[in-house]
Chains A and B, each alone.
Chain A
Amino acid sequence: MDNTKKGDLKIDGSGSAPGGEYNSVKINGAGRITGDTVCQNFRINGSGNVDGNIEMEDGKINGTGTIDGNIKAKQLKITGSGQVRGTISGDNIYVSGSVTIGENLDVQKIKIEGSAKIGHNCNAENFHSDGTFEISGLLNADDITIKLYHSKSRAKEIGGGRINVSVGSDAGFNVLKTIFTLGMYNPVLEADSIEGDEIVLENTTAAVVRGTNVTVGKGCNIGLVEYKGCLLKTGDAKVGEEKKI
């Protein structure tokens, strides 16, 4: 960033503005930005559209944000609902609302408490989900922690260093019970293949699991486990075939 002071952009009612370089961008009503945008702070409280790519230091989508391009962000919090046609790249992403990404998510750290849908791959150093996700391609992260609460999560492939999947403790038991009785309680992870160094699984269905040390816990249904160190099966784990390499 150079030293020339950049202006702020604020849309309170309904309006549209051109892209460009701003200090802060705030959309409180219904706003549209046309063109690529670079800013320090970015916030959507109402409903915002960006027709282009956007780069920010710190962003927050509280309302509804639709980005018809890519997002690059140091920090991004999505507590409302975000739709991104391209890729989100950056350092730290937190989703407590919902996000739909057309292409990839490439970040250092991602925490999902709401729901995330990713069209291609998810690359992160640290992947943590307390919510639900659907990744059409590969989930690749060094440290993957997945806590399953009430609904199904899925990735085509999962790969990384440490992979830990468990059923979240039922803090809101009554809520869960209500959902359960409605037939919607389904805390399951599904994947075609899971590969990692240290793998611990619960409630997971996968065709193949390959790793150094693998623990297959309750509620699992795995077609084939290939392991180098040791394999531990607990509870009602189902493993079709196991091979020590």
Chain B
Amino acid sequence: MENEELISKKELLELTGISYGQLYRWKRKGLIPEDWFVRKSSYTGQETFFPRGKVLYRIEKIKNMKEDISLDDLADVFSPAQDAISLQPDEVAVRNIVSGEVLKMYHDFRGSADAMDFNDILSAYILNKRIVEGDISLDEGRLLLEVIQESRITFGSDPFVIFLMRKLGVFSCFAVSPPGRTCLDKGIRLIAEINTLTVMEELKCKLI
């Protein structure tokens, strides 16, 4: 946070066109996290600043979404908490969250075709995206699922970042729980970097 560019509250309201009432409402609902409110003393006492990039991006998102969903649902989207959601596989397919083929593979992997909880849907969603993008093959997807499963055991509910890579055409992947830095050998081609927090936000938007 130290090196981030800050924006004052006044400038933020002016730039985004939101009012004090909205800002305070979003703060109450947890749409803007408490630790983004940075207090600094000025000649009038104290002024509040925000990490510029993060807050502008978040407000843009809230403004774009709030038309059709309630603030409480929206708060859920931004919270890292796991959703207490459970869906039948057909519903996941019908709602276009995961394609039928990937879904079938996911059932093979976990050995059941029962209702899917949030973690199941998330795993299948991550897999689906990579396969649709053409980054990896179905076989390679299995490896990705194993790493996701292992990561949940190791990191618990902490978010993590999955790195997909290829060396001499051979696929591999690993996960890191931030903050963590990585250093790779030159022969490795990084295919994708998947941040579970970002994917969760994305998925929650689709699930609402």
Chain A residues with a Cβ closer than 8 Å to the other chain, count: 23
Q: Confirm or deny: B20 has a beta carbon within 8 angstroms of a beta carbon on chain A.
A: yes
Interface digits, A51-71 against B, CB 8 Å rule (1 contact, 0 not)? 000000000000000000000
In the docked arrangement, what's the CA distance between A245 and B25, Å?
Answer: 22
Q: Which residues between 21 and 37 of chain B lie within 8 Å of chain A, taking CB atoms?
A: 21, 23-25, 27-28
Q: Confirm or deny: B70 has a beta carbon within 8 angstroms of a beta carbon on chain A.
A: no
Q: Confirm or deny: B152 has a beta carbon within 8 angstroms of a beta carbon on chain A.
A: no
Interface digits, A120-154 against B, CB 8 Å rule (1 contact, 0 not)? 00010100000000000000111000000000000
Contacts of B19 in A (CB 8 A): 161, 197, 212
| In the complex, number of A-B residue pairs with CB atoms less than 8 Å apart | 50
Closest chain-A Cβ to B49's Cβ sits at a distance in Å of 14
In-complex Cβ contact of B21 among A142, A192, A208 (8 A)? A142
Q: Are A196 and B45 in contact (CB under 8 A)?
A: no
Closest chain B residue to A223, Cβ basis: B44
Contacts of B24 in A (CB 8 A): 140-142, 159-161, 195-196
In-complex Cβ contact of A142 among B10, B14, B25, B46 (8 A)? B25
In the docked arrangement, what's the CA distance between A96 and B20, Å?
Answer: 30
From DSSP, what is the main secondary structure of chain B's interface residues?
helix
Contacts of B45 in A (CB 8 A): 192-193, 207-208
Q: Are A245 and B14 in contact (CB under 8 A)?
A: yes
Known: A142-B21, A161-B21, A197-B21. A224 touches B14 (CB 8 A): no
Contacts of A208 in B (CB 8 A): 44-45
In the docked arrangement, what's the CA distance between A223 and B27, Å?
Answer: 26
Contacts of A123 in B (CB 8 A): 28
Q: Which residues between 155 and 194 of chain A lie within 8 Å of chain B, taking CB atoms?
A: 159-162, 192-193
In-complex Cβ contact of A224 among B20, B23, B44 (8 A)? B44
Q: Are A197 and B46 in contact (CB under 8 A)?
A: no
Contacts of B20 in A (CB 8 A): 159-161, 195-197, 210-212
In the docked arrangement, what's the CA distance between A161 and B21, Å?
Answer: 4
Closest chain A residue to B45, Cβ basis: A207
In the docked arrangement, what's the CA distance between A208 and B14, Å?
Answer: 18
Q: Confirm or deny: A103 has a beta carbon within 8 angstroms of a beta carbon on chain B.
A: no
Closest chain-A Cβ to B8's Cβ sits at a distance in Å of 11
Closest chain-A Cβ to B13's Cβ sits at a distance in Å of 9
Q: Which residues between 23 and 52 of chain A lie within 8 Å of chain B, taking CB atoms?
A: none
Contacts of A161 in B (CB 8 A): 19-21, 24-25
Interface digits, B72-110 against A, CB 8 Å rule (1 contact, 0 not)? 000000000000000000000000000000000000000
In the docked arrangement, what's the CA distance between A223 and B46, Å?
Answer: 13
Q: Confirm or deny: A202 has a beta carbon within 8 angstroms of a beta carbon on chain B.
A: no
Contacts of A193 in B (CB 8 A): 45-46
- Residues of A with Cβ closer than 8 Å to B? 123, 125, 140-142, 159-162, 192-193, 195-197, 207-208, 210-212, 223-224, 226, 245
Q: What are 20 A-B pairs with beta-carbon distances under 8 A?
A: A123-B28, A125-B28, A140-B24, A140-B28, A142-B21, A142-B24, A159-B20, A159-B23, A161-B19, A161-B21, A161-B24, A161-B25, A162-B21, A192-B46, A197-B19, A207-B44, A210-B10, A212-B19, A224-B44, A226-B10
14 further A-B pairs in the complex, CB-CB below 8 A; given A142-B21, A197-B21? A141-B24, A159-B20, A159-B24, A160-B20, A160-B21, A160-B24, A161-B19, A192-B46, A195-B20, A196-B20, A196-B21, A196-B24, A208-B44, A245-B14
- Residues of B with Cβ closer than 8 Å to A? 10, 14, 19-21, 23-25, 27-28, 44-46
Give me the 4 closest cross-chain CB pairs, A-B, nearest first.
Answer: A161-B21, A197-B21, A159-B24, A195-B20
